[in-house]
Structure 1
């Protein structure tokens, strides 16, 4: 079954909640040396205006993403000097850059022990690697996806050897400390999700991100059965408040490396 492209509209539905961690990450980036800024895994360009405002009109800002649909959405604004279609895992800068900024993208890529040092090597002296990644994998919102997929469709989901793609914070500190000054932290955001007409609010949040690898491998009838079970379980894990909203704690990991 072909993997679907990203849906910019679905991703943007919770744009304010997804942008806040990017702004928190950007706030921890200090003064930069000369050189370009690369928004690695820029998605629909949500962080682009904040990068432009922070670094001014004279700083070259480049967005890179593998999704044509997301790049098209990012191109509707004026934040980027260039948008590049490419795989963040393979990307190499033409010349060393001042900042590699990545908000909620690198969790999709494997082998951070190789990836992050390779990215750091593409910075100018004094340059910064700033990364935010969700680390929600033990929460019901993500654990249910794995458990139900493995139980309902064992022919397609063998998760016995599954390992979380984002490691604990101390692992990243140990990994990056030999490369420069490193700051690693986590934040738990208590996100209020508005009521929705169809399904559980948490499912509406995850369907454009965490659910994608599961839905992409299911037929339409299978997906409907899977979603119905997921919705029901979410109702117990994340009860609806009196006004119909849901409080959804969400953990994110941040790292800032200055070389």
Structure 2
């Protein structure tokens, strides 16, 4: 898969940062010396952490060099490191591990989530937000198109392209035995969008990338055209002419015993 495009991702930065703020608002820490932003992207979520914990050592990690370069330019006071979340381990136990819209790309949550939780300092917090939109038309249509010619062969198995999430209760169970507290909740955001083309632009920065990156230019163009046509059928215009994009997200905040 090609590297991420920070400029494309940031076109909807306000909408993408809103759940990051709401996740951080539920973190039950008054102070933290060491904070890690796992999958920091262009630094929009890391900036929230720097503001919330100004005395902390804040480290952002990502596997995209383009995202890391944008984050470093945005926040020279923070540290940024290249890492793969699936193999990441901290040098020193953090007081907060914060993963906003990143763990949905990482497999084997039954192993990953307890491992991240165990890496915390005593009294530390694991805070996670993940898009839970695989069943929404935006993502269902990606898989439907990827399963038919002429796009099927170059894309391959569409189901492998993103981790299937557990129900909220499953994540609660992964953490509850060892945690002091576990807070889980689900929010469905409703984003007014100007057109089906605007929805395509939104998902091109994230979930659509693994589908279109393997395609040659001609097939990429035909995939996007058919995808936009089908989106227009799924998202009717509202009273003001806009389309309402439902975007479910899952939140998990767990604290270790002191």
1:255 equivalent in structure 2: 252
The correspondence of residues 128-207 of structure 1 with structure 2, limited to 5 A, is 128-152=125-149, 153-155=151-153, 156-159=155-158, 165-180=164-179, 181-195=181-195, 200-207=197-204
**Alpha-carbon separation, structure 2, partners of 1:93 and 1:131:** 17
- Number of the residue aligned with 1:39: 37
Residue correspondence of structure 1 range 11-22 to structure 2 within 5 A: 11-22=9-20
Distance 1:39 1:159, change over 3 A: closer
Contact 2:42-2:67 within 8 A present in 1 as well:
yes
State how far apart, in whole Å, the 1-side matches of 2:158 and 2:80 are: 36
Show the 5 A alignment for 1:103-142: 103-142=100-139
Gaps of 5+ in 2: none
Alignment of 1:227-238 (within 5 A): 227-238=224-235
Work out whether residues 143 and 159 of structure 2, in 8 Å CA contact, stay in contact via their aligned partners in 1: no
Aligned equivalents of 2:91, 2:71: Cα separation in 1: 22
Q: Secondary structure of 2:220's partner?
A: helix
**C-alpha distance in 2, partners of 1:253/1:80?**
30
Q: 1:63 aligns with which of 60, 65, 75?
A: 60
Question: Is the Cα contact below 8 Å between 2:31 and 2:53 reproduced in 1?
Answer: no
| Residues 30 and 46 of structure 1, relative CA distance in 2, 3 Å threshold | same
Pairs aligned (count): 253
Residue deviations 1:120-152, cap 9 Å, x none? 111011000000000000010000000111112
Mapped contact 1:194–1:244 kept (Cα < 8 A): yes
Q: Which residue number in structure 2 is paired with residue 85 of structure 1? A: 82
**C-alpha contact 2:146 2:211 (8 A) present in aligned 1:** yes
Residue equivalent to 2:48: 50
C-alpha distance in 1, partners of 2:53/2:159?
A: 45
C-alpha deviation, 1:193, in angstroms: 1.9
Q: State the partner residue of 2:97.
A: 100
CA distance in 2, matches of 1:62, 1:164: 25
Coordinate RMSD, CA, aligned = 1.8
> What is the alpha-carbon distance in structure 2 between the residues aligned to residue 42 and residue 163 of structure 1?
18
Moved over 4 A (4+): 159-164
Bigger mean CA offset, 131-140 vs 176-185: 176-185
| CA distance in 2 between partners of 1:80 and 1:121 (Å) | 28
Displacement of 1:255 in angstroms is: 0.1
Determine if the alignment matches structure 1 residue 24 to structure 2 residue 22.
Answer: yes
Q: CA deviation at 1:186?
A: 0.5
Contact 2:193-2:199 within 8 A present in 1 as well:
yes
Gaps of at least 5 residues in structure 1 are: none
Contact in 1 for aligned 2:96/2:125 (Cα 8 Å): yes
Deviates more, 1:25-34 or 1:186-195: 25-34
1: CA distance between counterparts of 2:38 and 2:202? Answer: 22
TM-score by length of 1: 0.92
Q: Counterpart of 2:230 in 1: which secondary structure?
A: helix
